Amino acid sequence: MLAILKTISKQRWSWLLLAASALSLELCALYFQHVMRLEPCVMCVYERLAMLGILFAGLIGASAPKSVLIRLTAFLLWGISAVWGTLLAIQHTDYQMHPSPFFTCDFFPNFPSWAPLHEWLPWLFNPTGDCSDIVWKFLDYSMPQWLIVSFSIYTLLFVIVAISSMFKNKV
């Protein structure tokens, strides 16, 4: 089993599967925003950015899966994005479960001045909603709660695949 897991990170299809899964979630977010007219908040925008990090990690890994440097870069981006996304989704859920006028998210995203993504791509990164509003539920879970599930799965898969890729092959 460990040998199978070790070889997964060296296969292009596995990295493309990672990218495709993140892309499908990004497309769902855009459907919610532009078709269902659900306004994204600042936390939604940050969570979207974390999901894009996973998407780019998959594309980077797929570009040269046999290269140790490329795989290491992809693993690093995947791990950071998955953990960051999990933490963001937990904080976002906290805003929704415990709304308070003293504990709120920002009204504007805090992107660096050299990369104002909300100005460059407002259809993707401009927040217009309130973080404490629960505007959608499925099976009684709000969107950030589903993102906790999604990012936790990405984090778990990252840990399993990354650790298994560190073991030496048996002769």
pLDDT digits (tens, 9 = 90+) for 20-42: 999 999 999 999 998 989 988 88
Given this model, what pLDDT does residue 120 score? Answer: 82
Catalytic residue among 28, 37, 71, 105: 105
In the predicted model, residues of the chain with pLDDT beneath 50 are: 171
Catalytic residue, from 12, 28, 48, 71: name it.
48
DSSP H or E run through 103: none
Which residue bears the tokens 């870069």? 73
Query: What local confidence, expressed as pLDDT, does residue 171 receive?
Result: 42
**CB 89, CB 151: distance < 8 Å:** yes
Spatial neighbors of 163 by CB under 8 A, at least 6 apart, are none
- 37 catalytic residue (yes or no): no
**48 tagged catalytic:** yes
Is residue 131 part of the annotated active site? The answer reads yes
Is 28 annotated in the active site?
A: no
Question: Which residue of the set 28, 37, 44, 71 is catalytic?
Answer: 44
Please give the structure tokens belonging to residue 148: 């906790």
